[in-house]
Amino acid sequence: MAKSDNLTRKIDKRLPGELVAFIQHAGRLADSKGERLYLVGGVVRDLLLDKTNLDIDLVVEGDAIALARELSDDEAGKITIHKRFNTAKINWHGWSIDLASARKESYARPGALPTVKPGSLSDDLCRRDFTINAMAIGLNPGGYGRLIDPYGGQKDLGGRMIHFLHQKSFIDDSTRIWRGLRYEQRLDFQLEPETLRLLKRDIPMLDTISGDRIRYEIECILNEEFPEKVLRRADELGVLAKLEPALKGNGWLAKKFQPAREASSPSRPPAGLYLALLTYNLNSEQRDKLISYLRLPGALTKTLQDTAGIKDKILQLADSKIKPSAVYHLLEGYSTQSLTANLIASDLPIARQHLRLYLDKLRTIKPILTGNDLMKMGVPQGPRIKEILNRLFDARLDGRIKTRQDEEGLVKPG
C-alpha cells in the first residue's frame, strides 16, 4: 500500500489548491458530524496514474445530501439534489463535485438497474466495475490521504490490467463490457485473461440492457480521445456486432476518425460526426433499426439521416460537369455535420471537391437584389418575383454575375 503522505503529495500535485482546500474542509465537516468521507472512483485511479482528473466524486458513510447542504452554505456553492439516489452535485467556483451516500447494491435480474440501500464504503466499493475504479482515499483529518484498496487496484494499475471484481460482474451489468473496452483502450491496458474470458462469454448478456444505457456508453466512447481504438477492439471481440452486425470498427473507420478530428479542431468532433462515420456504410434498414434501438435524440437522428441522404446523391455529385448551382440544389438544407461526414467518408475526388465548394463558398452566397427591389424595377407582384430571384441566385452561384449592376442587367420586368 502507498504511504499516506505519498497520496497527500499526489493530491496536492494533481488537484488545484482551492479544490484541495474544499475537500479538506469537507473532510473536517464530515468528521465533526461523526461521518467518514472519501474520494472515490476515477479520480483516485488517475491520481495514482499521476494524471489530472477534475471529476471529483466523494462518498460519505452518512447523509450525503445533508453534508452537501452544509458544504454549499459554508462555501457558497450551488447545489443540485437527487433525493431518490441520495446524491448531490455541488457547483462551486466552476468546479463540479459529486457527493453520494455510501451504498449497497443488488441486482434483481441481470441488466436491471440495481436496488440500492445505504451501506459502508466497503459495500460501495464492491459494487464497482473494475479494481482500478474500486479504490478510495480517506479525507477525514485522522486518515487524510490514506488509500483504501480492497481489491488490489493499485497492483492492477502497476500491471496495466483491467480486472473485474467478481465472476458475475458482466452478468449483473453488462454495460461493464463496453466500459472495460473503453478503459483498456484509453489507458493502453489489457483485459486480465479471466476478465477477458468472462467478458467474451457474457457478450450475449448485452441483450438485457436497454438501448438508453447502451447509448450512454457509446456516447462515453465517442468522447474518448481515440474512440476508433475502442470500436476496433469491440469489433474484434464481437461486441460491436451485438449493436448492429453490419457495423465495422476496422482500418477504414480509423482512417476517417483522424480527419474528423482535424475538421473539428481545436475541440473534439461532435458525437454526431463520429456516429455518421461509424454508420456510413449501413443500409437504411440497419440505420433505422439502430436509431430506434439507441433512441437517438432528434438532432443526432437528423445527422445520420442527412448523411445518408447526401450519400444517396454522391454519384450525381461525382459528375465533373455539373454546375455549382446544381451542387447547391443537391446539398441545400443538409446539416454541416452530415456534409462534413460525406466529405470525409467519400472516396470520390470530384464529389469531395463539390462538397468542399458547397461548404466553403456556395452556402454563403446570397443574391443582392430583393423582391422589393424587383417590384421597384417594375416586376409585378406574384410568382414571377420568385422565378427571377431564383434565376439571379443560380447565375450568381455559377459565377455568371458578380455585382448589383450584373443582377439588374438580368432582370427583365416585362
Encode 294-312: b = buried (16+ Cβ within 10 Å), e = exposed. bebeeebbbbbbbbbbbbe
Does 173 contact ligand ATP by CB under 6 A? Answer: yes
Strand partners, 138: 38
Q: d(Cα 107, Cα 376) in Å, to the nearest integer?
A: 75
Give the burial class of 397: count Cβ atoms within 10 A of its Cβ; 0-12 exposed, 13-18 middle, 19 or more buried.
Answer: buried
Residue 18-47 contact track with ligand ATP, rule CB under 6 A, x = bound: -----------------------xx-----
Cell 449483473: give the residue.
Answer: 172
End-to-end CA distance of the chain: 91
Q: How many residues bind ligand ATP (CB under 6 A)?
A: 10
Phi, psi values for residue 84, rounded to 5°: -60, -35
Q: Which is nearer to ligand ATP, 136 or 276 (CB)?
A: 136
Does 128 interact with ligand ATP (rule: CB under 6 A)? yes
Separation of alpha carbons 328 and 319, rounded Å: 14
Does residue 212 touch ligand ATP according to CB under 6 A?
no
55 binds ligand ATP (CB under 6 A): yes
Task: Please state the closest distance from residue 331 (CB atom) to ligand ATP, in A.
Answer: 37
Q: Does 407 bind ligand ATP (CB under 6 A)?
A: no
- The one among 35, 129, 202, 407 contacting ligand ATP by CB under 6 A: 129
Per the document, the length of the chain is: 414
Residue spans of beta strands (DSSP E) within 1-69: 36-40, 56-61
- Residue 133 binds ligand ATP, judged by CB under 6 A: yes
Q: Residue 395 CB, nearest distance to ligand ATP (Å)?
A: 54
The binder of ligand ATP chosen from 101, 174, 175, 346 (CB under 6 A): 175
CB 273 within 8 A of CB 265: no
DSSP 245: T
**What minimum distance in Å lies between the beta carbon of 186 and ligand ATP?**
7
Specify the stretch interacting with ligand ATP by CB under 6 A; choose among 169-177, 269-277, 333-341, 366-374. Answer: 169-177
Question: Cα 350 vs. chain centroid, distance in angstroms?
Answer: 32
Closer CB to ligand ATP, residue 55 or residue 73? 55
**Which part of the chain contacts ligand ATP (CB under 6 A), choosing from 125-133, 204-212, 266-274, 403-411?**
125-133
**What residue ranges bind ligand ATP (CB under 6 A)?**
41-42, 55, 57, 128-129, 133, 173, 175-176
